[in-house]
Structure 1
């Protein structure tokens, strides 16, 4: 683990390291190939699918932020998930949470069912007997997502890792919802961390990317080989944009968390809002665990609209500052309907098992004025109330 604070690591990534001309910010290396020093003498770079200086700077920063030995920067968050799965064989068992991101669920279930890439067991980590469920599965890899998407459920990373160690299983943690600024799973015992860097790490909704950070050099080297073999690595320009966004990760999250706390407080007192899902609430089932393993509660929350599903259109159409869209983690506030958007790849039974209801709404809070965001929600909720009174 680095002795530097995450804010310093993020802000100084690649700064004042250019040996060619002394540039303060690192150059963008858009080249696809590189000149070799001489015949039979390979250099550190030969082809950008394998290595690229811009991508390497981002990878080094992410590895330091997560306290890992090596980071592989990928072209999407889903390719980061696919890359981590290369550690499995058809004889191995993968355990996943019952309420993971819809895209991850689709990948896991289809690889297991259609490709027989591994055996799959789905576990509810919110149940008291989750350790027994895992022991029965005898997994090679355990996949965690905490806080979960979209219900913000919390899983005790250290407890799972302790059990995994006794089973000689690897633990992978999807850290997308918090970023390394708020949670470092490797320090809690995990073996790998995956990110959709599209989200908070980049933070500007203008690039797609992912990353896998490995605790050990050997694991990192193996996955780097697979990333090059499969062509999963990120391009230079995407890496450059992500690196640029990374530099403001800490101040962005500080403001976003402040705004989220105010938005949640408003939602809690509104009569048209049912249950609010946010780990920062003291009555949240995972609140104490979140306090222990996180350094902040994040900028995501979800809630149930206490109105018929037919009125969702009224609610969404009356928003001005919350944009109805996929994704999360940008400077702008986004809002989505998980059942028909981010988790549409889950069938009705899987959605019901995960607790994703017809009026569940997920919010990614940005850096706008909290007062404006609250006024925006109030306006949309007033519109719903007006329709109900007709």
Structure 2
């Protein structure tokens, strides 16, 4: 490769060392363990004196290739692959926090992340405070003497709010906090938080990394000394990614840029079309000039991503009926698929929040999250428009 290969070339040509069989693509290493030449090599590997594969819960050539690739694309020093995206979230927080520590988190987080912060970590006396993404001037007041880290999503799920990564990096540095960014919606193709000062970046590889709804996976990449703590925790608690899923994900990343280009162009076209629709109260998409953080999104993202959030007239009932009327789009618990997916967060992913909690993060009763797929954009737009028409209440 050239001395400075582009993203697409790195995504395709980063590969584990070929075996004597001269394979063009990395083989599957479906083995639970690995052989040692002798007792001394076995001892040295277990003592971490020499590198090598011991056991696939620790490392495997397929997971190593995936990690190396994502580290390169994100500009990270090291990484670890987990069985799911939520395993990446929980493992990172549990590995870095001790009893008595405090976490500062943006209020707009994925529903399961909210549960980890509010239900699971408090069992070990790890507390948190939520801060409003729209009121960053007040964040410093929420820092406590025991605050260890800052956890954010940008773009956020599902309201696609944008946080200023450059500001976040400076804020974390000023207050001595570990900055963790969930980069799932953007992927490293659209955004690299480490360039702005993030210490760790998390992904649900289940989403755009795979891109076709086939496998589960998670990734933690960033500063080596922090990843070492995550790796130690994961090595003994066991949330390892399977070699097969790692192989699938590494191959999928070869087409990530191509797919994200289409996701983004389709999403922007849909967002622009729906902005003037009479049955849509609000359209939020990072690269629409009407988005509150449009200028920030343009500064730190290559394109606006594949998620469009709309608020339909008629509240919860209209939102749920809209889902019943789609014909092309899927109703499923995923996003980032080649297929367009629609969900109603107020009654599904964020149903366990109170009405007030949902309102605080912009999840209105009629909010619909559209994960815009790779179908022809005309067919996507037609399906959404016909579902809006078919779900419109009949006036007496």
TM-score w.r.t. the length of structure 1 is 0.95
1:202 corresponds in structure 2 to 210
Secondary structure of the equivalent of 1:40?
A: helix
Cα distance, 1:348 vs. partner?
3.1
1:7 corresponds in structure 2 to 8
Which residues in structure 2 correspond to 1:138-153 (within 5 Å)? 139-153=147-161
Secondary structure of the equivalent of 2:322?
A: helix
Q: How many residues of Structure 1 are paired with residues of Structure 2 in the alignment?
A: 385
Secondary structure of the equivalent of 2:57?
A: coil
Report Cα offsets for 1:82-121 as digits up to 9, x if no partner: 12111111222110111111111111111343331x2211
1:110 and 2:111 correspond: no
Q: 2:68 is matched with which residue: 45, 60, 63?
A: 60
Distance 2:339 2:209 in 1: 14
1:46 corresponds in structure 2 to 54
Cα distance, 1:138 vs. partner?
6.2
Report Cα offsets for 1:232-258 as digits up to 9, x if no partner: 110101111111211110000001111
* C-alpha distance 170-25 of structure 1, shift in aligned 2 (>3 A): same
Which residues in structure 2 correspond to 1:279-358 (within 5 Å)? 279-358=286-365
Distance 1:247 1:316 in 2: 33
Secondary structure of the equivalent of 2:360?
A: helix
Which residues in structure 2 correspond to 1:1-390 (within 5 Å)? 3-14=4-15, 17-42=17-42, 44-85=52-93, 86-116=95-125, 118-135=126-143, 139-215=147-223, 217-385=224-392, 387-389=393-395
Cα distance, 1:227 vs. partner?
1.3
Report Cα offsets for 1:135-189 as digits up to 9, x if no partner: 4576210001001111111111111221211211110000000000000001100
Q: For structure 2, which runs of at least 5 residues remain unmatched after alignment? A: 46-51
Cα distance, 1:340 vs. partner?
1.6
Distance 1:222 1:314 in 2: 47
Distance 1:326 1:76 in 2: 14
Task: Quote the RMSD (CA, aligned, Å).
Answer: 1.7
Cα distance, 1:308 vs. partner?
4.3
Secondary structure of the equivalent of 2:391?
A: helix
Runs of 4+ aligned residues of structure 1 deviating over 4 Å after TM superposition are 134-138
Report Cα offsets for 1:266-288 as digits up to 9, x if no partner: 11111001111111111211111
Q: For structure 1, which runs of at least 5 residues remain unmatched after alignment? A: none
Secondary structure of the equivalent of 2:170?
A: helix
